[in-house]
Each structure stands twice: as C-alpha cells, then as structure tokens.
Structure 1
Amino acid sequence: MGPFSAFFVLIGTLLTASGYGATFFLSMHFRSLGGNDLDTGLALAEATVGTLVGVLVVGRFARRIGSARTTALAALCIGLGVIGFAAVDRMSAPGILPGFLVGFGWGAFCLAAPMSLTERTSDADRGFWFMRFGTIQMAGIGGCPAVAAMAIRSWHWPLTSVFYVVGGLCAVAALMLEAFGRVSPHRDEAPVQQDWLRESGAVWRTRAAYPIVMISLCACVFSGSMTFQMSIIRGTHAQAGTFFSLYAVTVVVARWLLTRVVVRLYHGVATRLLLAIMVLGTAAMFVVPYQPAFHSISAVLLGIGYGLVYPTIQAQAVNDCAATHRQPALTWFVVAYFIGTFGFPAVASWVLVHIGTPALIGLMAACGVGALVLAVMRDRHAIAPLSNA
C-alpha cells in the first residue's frame, strides 16, 4: 500500500474517530437540555445495541459491496448520529436513533476498516500499517474532544455547532474512505469469513477467553474516564480539555516510541505492568479535588497504560487460539470492547447520579484490578493444545 492510498485511509480514520470522540460531550449536552448523566448512559446503551448489530451485519455488507465501501458507510452513519444528537431534543421519540447510529457505525467501522487493510497489505507489512492505523484512530478519539473543548472555552462555540462540524467531518471521512477503496489495489485473495457465533465454543475453551474479558474491563475504565470526565472534575480547578489533550498526545507518543520496548518484553510481564499503570491512573483521580496536578498525571498514566495494553492483549487474543479460529476470536474481542465502551456508562451513570463521583472512580478502579487479576490467571493457565481448540 503506497503513501497516496495510505493518506486517504489514515485521514479518513482520523476524522471518523473524531465522531466517536464527540460522544464524550454527551454528558454536557444532556445537562444543557435539563437532563443528567442517566440520559448519557441511556444514549450509550442504545449505542451498545447498535454496535452489536453493526458487528453482526458487517461481514455480509463487506462481501457484497466491499470492505472499503462498508467502512465509508460506517463513517457516514457515525456522522449522522452525531448530527442527530444536536438536532433532536432528548425527550423526543427520535432521540433513540442517534445513539444507535453512532454505535452501529463505530461497530461496523472497527471491523470493516481492519478488513480493508488486510485485503490491501501483505503479511510482511501488515503489522506496520495496523499500528499506524491504531495510532491515528486513538489520536482522533482523544484529539477531537481536546479541540472541541478549546472551541467551546476559547472561541465560545455552542456544543450543537461542534456536533454539526464533527458530523460534517465524518461525511468527509466517508468520501476519503470511498476514495481509498478506489485508488488502492485490492489483493486477489480475500480473507475467509467465518461464523463467529458458531465458532464461539472453540474460542472460549482456549486462553483467548482471558484477553477477551480483559478488554471489556479495560474499556470500562476508558469509557468511564472519558465519558464522565466533565462530571468527575466538577467543582475542582481541573479542565477536561487538558485531560483529553494529554491523553491523546500520550497515547500517540507512547505507541510511536514504546511499542518496540513492549513487544520485546514477555507479553505476560508487559500486560501486567501496563494494567498496573492504568489502575494507578484511575486511582489518581481520587486526589484531583485536593491536588489538581494529579488530573494531568492521571491522563498520562491512562494514556500509557490503556493506550499500550489494547494492542498487547489484542495480539494475545489472536495468538491464544488456533489459526482457523482467529477471526472469530477477533470478532469476540471487538464485541467485548464495545460492551465495555458503550455498556459500562449505562451502569456508571446510575452510580454517578445516585452514589457519587468517588463510587464511580472506585468502580472503574475495580474493573482495572479485575483485568489485572485475569492477566495473572492467564499466565498461570497452561496453554491448551491448539489442535483441539
């Protein structure tokens, strides 16, 4: 894959990821409409349903219209969902649709985009492009709320205007991803599509079950920290824009500079170390009301811990099962990620409203500790014969 075609897919990915990053402002949006964080949890619960539907149908769409065009349509769905949040009142019946559209689009994108890269890269250079893809994706997720916070605070943009702009950027992303499918040569051999539900038993009987559950718990920490960031720092001197900016920069820098160090470590050691850093980043939020500097420390620790542990345990999910079951394992990995990313806020919003911020931070820390315990259990679990998987 040459630089010209890479430009389209990477910039398209950056702009698409900004659509997901815009969901971190839903808490502020619903409060401005007279609602509370329970409305945010409900919207993201609807997104959870959308992601599951997206994962179920993306394979069929990709076979009929191509994975690149499926990715472009997914970006368009995300943009329509973001615009929908700005256009409809939270109490109106159509308010259910935006959350579903964002979830459907993000679920389809996170499966179709890697498929389109797989079809256009060789075994030798696929790892390089996947790492670049993941880095750009995280830059969009964290960079969008950072720039949006600056626009709201410094340029006095209303939040609805931010949503409309982000929706427009997702439409541009759809055009760029469609162009990527046209200008990038398609390899003749297409990846074999498997029924991931039918192969579930084979996947869950191997050690791949550990990283699949781990990513769901890690995603709970990530989504809780980002979605309710403005509620967590309410009443303190901390700024949400600073957290988003530091997180995005840390993830990008860490993935560019520390990936080789992590790869050289034994994966079990690397996973436990990164998860411990993530837990420390979550625990640092307890101190923010007393010392705002810990707000920045938390962002950096979460950027290093979560930012690097995601690709590490994704590789474990693939390597811990037989080659014939790797695609179902990856699909389960993505589903588990979405359950944590969009499903956790539904629970976290109730905890935040009815019990308080310390309870929410404690719940996120418990999820991080749970993932760390599973990492230890995985290392102690003898590798099952993959031929029987």
Structure 2
Amino acid sequence: MPSLANPGYQERNTKGIFALFCVGSYLLSVSYGTTFLLAMSLSAHGASEADAGSIMSAAMFSTFIAVIFSGHLTDLFGAPKTIAFGAVLLAAACAGFACFPTFGLAALGFGLLLGLGWGVFYTLGPIIVAMMIEPARRVKYFALLSGCMMSGIGTGPLLGRASEAFGYPLRAAFVMAAMASVIGGVAFVLLGPKIKQLHLVSGAVTVCRISPQAGALVMRSKAAFAIVMVGLGGAIFGGLSSFQTSYAHLKQLDYSIFFLGFMAAVITCRLLVAGFIVKRDPYRMAGILTSLIVTSVLMFMFTVDTAATYLFAAIVLGVGYGLTYSVINGLAANEAPAGYNAQSLVLFSLAYFVGVFGFPWLAGLIIVSQGMGALLSVILLIALLNWAIALGRLVWRRLPRSQARRFDPV
C-alpha cells in the first residue's frame, strides 16, 4: 500500500479527497441559494417581502452563534462531523420552508436553523482546506472552494425556476435543497477519517476563538476598513439577491437571468482572474472594483428593461462583487495586528453575515413601505459609501506621511 510519505501519492490522494470535499460543499451551498426564493414563496401565500426579510434577520442572529461556537464544536467532534451536523440543520430548514410556506413562528425557527447550519459550514470549510493543504498551495484551493460554493448558491434559485418550468410548485426547490444537504452531510462524514490523515501530514491548524479584547484590537487596526467594506458588500449582495424575484416580476423579466449572469461572473472571476488581481495594488483594485458595483446598481435603476441589459447588469455586479471580496479578504488578513490574522478573518465573516442576512430585513420593510425604487436608492447609497472608503484609502496612502498619520487607526 502506498505511503502518505510518498509526495506523488500524497498529492493524488489530496486531490481526490478535495474533489469530494468540493462536491459536498456545492451540495450544502444549494440550501443557502434557495433562500433567494423565499420572497416569492411567501408572497404566493399572502406574506410580504418584509416577512422574508424577518426570516433572514433570524438567520443572522443564529449565524453569530454558529461562528462563535464552531471552534468549541470542532474540538469536541472534529470539523468534518461538525459540518455534517450543520448539513442536518440546513436540510431541516429547507424541508421546513417546503412544508410550511407561510410566515409565522415556524418560518422564523427555520431561519434560525438555516443560520446555524450555514454559519458552521461557512466558518469551518476554509479550516478544513487548511487541514488538507500545505500553506504554499492554499490560495489556489481556497479559490476552488469559493467557486464551488458560489456554484451551489447559484443553483438554488435556478432549481426554483426549473421547478416552475416543469410544472412543479416552488416548494420542490426547497425539497431538492434539503436532499442535497443530506447527501453533502454524508460526504463530510465519509471524509472525516481521510481528512484527519492528511491533517497529520500537513501540520496543525488551530480553530480561532475570538474574545472581546481581540476583536477590539482588530477593529482599531487598518483591517477594520476591509471588515466594514465586506459588511457593506454583503448588504448589497443580500439586498439585490434576496428580492431579485420581486425586481424581475416588476420588470416582467426572468429572475434566472440574473442568477445565471451573476454567478457565472463571480465563479469565473474567482477561479480565473482573482489570482492575478490579488497580486496587484489592493487599494487601487478595490477602488476600481467597487466602482463597478456602483455602476451595476445604477444599471438596475435606470437601464434594465430587456433580458440583455438585465444579464449585462448582473455580470457587471458579479465581476465587481466577486473580485472585491477576494481583494478585501486579503487586506483583512494582511492588515491585522501581528498574531491576530485569524481573529480578523472571523470578524470579516461576521461582518459579511451582518450584511447578507441583516440588511434583507431592512430591505423588505423598504419595499413594502416605499417600493423597489426606494430600495435600489438605498443600495446605491451603500455602494457609494463602499466606493468612498476604497477611494479614501487610496488618497490617504498618497498623502505625506505626517498628514496620513493623523487619520491612522490606533
């Protein structure tokens, strides 16, 4: 039997295990993607966009719990089994959305389950990659993981469109997502012993437990800018994606066009372009890419009226959002205080969850009270603020050192 000490065998073994890991990650991500169908599903049963936003805000709170305690669960059960437990929660949430399509306490409970499951997976997935892959090759494998997750997220709403096309009710998409989560959970259970073997070869990886003191230290550093930016970017993504079905209905367009264009752009950029972008000046790249997000929001407001313009706006958003995330993720790690990179990345994830799960609550209220146009105006303001932070950092860096020091975080 070949030994793990053999580099050639070890690399082939790692690739095979990582391939199954990517399949499992894709299957779990489908469940989160189906949440973009909640607004349409609830509307069909007398609820509103505000109710869909409330469910997403419930997911935000439980996600915090999952992120904070995932390290303790990993110590007790191991990362793969903890993710498998998260898969069960995701399956239960999707099954609940399928069986109870009306708004109420049950729906809020399923939102809590969704946040717990997704928070555990989103936090521990990269840690498992670090357990399997040596540091020199991790950037490539992180990009592959991100591409698989975005593929799964994009598949969720497309399942809804396919269900409608074949004459099935929308709840069929939630049922399929629940089944995908169960299969994905089984994959992680099977991967557990193999990942543990690779972990012994690749070296120790610690799971971060963040404290208030560590969080305060990170937020007083330059990494705070990237953390704020990912929260704003998450709000833009969450606001547009969670209510894209309502937007498409208003424009009499097919919402699947948005998800196809957006996800194809994000996946392509992260897999093929991100490796080049992250080697460039991150401040300049952030300024350029956030301007694309502003441009895309303006397109959704003023130019989208055909399938072609709808697709183009989605692609521009996907390029800007997909690459901005990669750039500021690197800044969050590189600009953290010495020895606090992991804590900075945990805060980065938490800020993302605040935006992607928390903002839809406000977005739903805005749609109900003021309409879709008002929501797009608010999203434009958020995008402009994000762009202003990126440009401000670029200008700040060009100031003479004595002037820039006045505004430097402590």
What TM-score comes out, normalization by structure 2 length? 0.90
Q: Who is 1:193 aligned against?
A: 208
| 1:183 lines up with 2:194 in the alignment | yes
SS at match of 1:70: helix
SS at match of 2:95: helix
Q: 1:297 aligns with which of 307, 312, 321?
A: 312
> How has the CA–CA distance of structure 1 residues 192 and 242 changed in structure 2, closer, same or farther, with 3 Å as cutoff?
closer
Asked if 2 retains the 8 angstrom alpha-carbon contact of 1:74 and 1:104, the reply is yes
Residue 377 of structure 1 deviates from its aligned partner by: 2.8
| CA radius of gyration, larger in | 2
| 1:140 lines up with 2:147 in the alignment | no
**Which consecutive unaligned segments of at least 5 residues does structure 1 have?**
none
Amino acid at match of 2:368: V
SS at match of 2:64: helix
Asked if 2 retains the 8 angstrom alpha-carbon contact of 1:219 and 1:340, the reply is yes
Q: Who is 1:5 aligned against?
A: 17
Asked if 1 retains the 8 angstrom alpha-carbon contact of 2:29 and 2:150, the reply is yes
Residue 331 of structure 1 deviates from its aligned partner by: 0.7
- Determine the C-alpha separation between the residues in 2 that align with 1:347 and 1:257: 35
SS at match of 2:340: helix
SS at match of 1:309: helix
SS at match of 2:210: coil
> How has the CA–CA distance of structure 1 residues 117 and 229 changed in structure 2, closer, same or farther, with 3 Å as cutoff?
same
> How has the CA–CA distance of structure 1 residues 91 and 17 changed in structure 2, closer, same or farther, with 3 Å as cutoff?
closer
Asked if 2 retains the 8 angstrom alpha-carbon contact of 1:20 and 1:106, the reply is yes
Q: Who is 2:339 aligned against?
A: 324
Asked if 2 retains the 8 angstrom alpha-carbon contact of 1:211 and 1:375, the reply is no
- Determine the C-alpha separation between the residues in 2 that align with 1:44 and 1:308: 25
| 1:85 lines up with 2:97 in the alignment | yes
- Determine the C-alpha separation between the residues in 1 that align with 2:95 and 2:181: 10
Amino acid at match of 2:257: T
Q: 2:114 aligns with which of 102, 114, 126?
A: 102
| 1:157 lines up with 2:178 in the alignment | no
- Determine the C-alpha separation between the residues in 2 that align with 1:30 and 1:89: 6
Deviates more, 1:81-90 or 1:185-194: 185-194
SS at match of 1:235: helix
Q: Supply the RMSD in Å over aligned alpha carbons.
A: 1.9
What TM-score comes out, normalization by structure 1 length? 0.94
**Which consecutive unaligned segments of at least 5 residues does structure 2 have?**
1-10
Residue 263 of structure 1 deviates from its aligned partner by: 2.2
Asked if 1 retains the 8 angstrom alpha-carbon contact of 2:31 and 2:177, the reply is yes
Deviates more, 1:26-35 or 1:248-257: 248-257
Residue 275 of structure 1 deviates from its aligned partner by: 0.7
5 Å matches for 1:296-375?
296-375=311-390
Asked if 1 retains the 8 angstrom alpha-carbon contact of 2:163 and 2:170, the reply is no
Amino acid at match of 2:332: A
Q: Who is 1:125 aligned against?
A: 137
| 1:31 lines up with 2:43 in the alignment | yes
- Determine the C-alpha separation between the residues in 2 that align with 1:358 and 1:255: 31
- Determine the C-alpha separation between the residues in 2 that align with 1:266 and 1:73: 40
Superposed CA deviations along residues 206-242 of structure 1, whole A, max 9, x for unmatched, are: 1100000000100111111111001112232321011
Q: 1:167 aligns with which of 170, 178, 181?
A: 178
Residue 373 of structure 1 deviates from its aligned partner by: 1.1
> How has the CA–CA distance of structure 1 residues 308 and 68 changed in structure 2, closer, same or farther, with 3 Å as cutoff?
same
- Determine the C-alpha separation between the residues in 2 that align with 1:195 and 1:249: 34
Deviates more, 1:89-98 or 1:362-371: 89-98
Residue 289 of structure 1 deviates from its aligned partner by: 5.7
Residue 89 of structure 1 deviates from its aligned partner by: 4.8
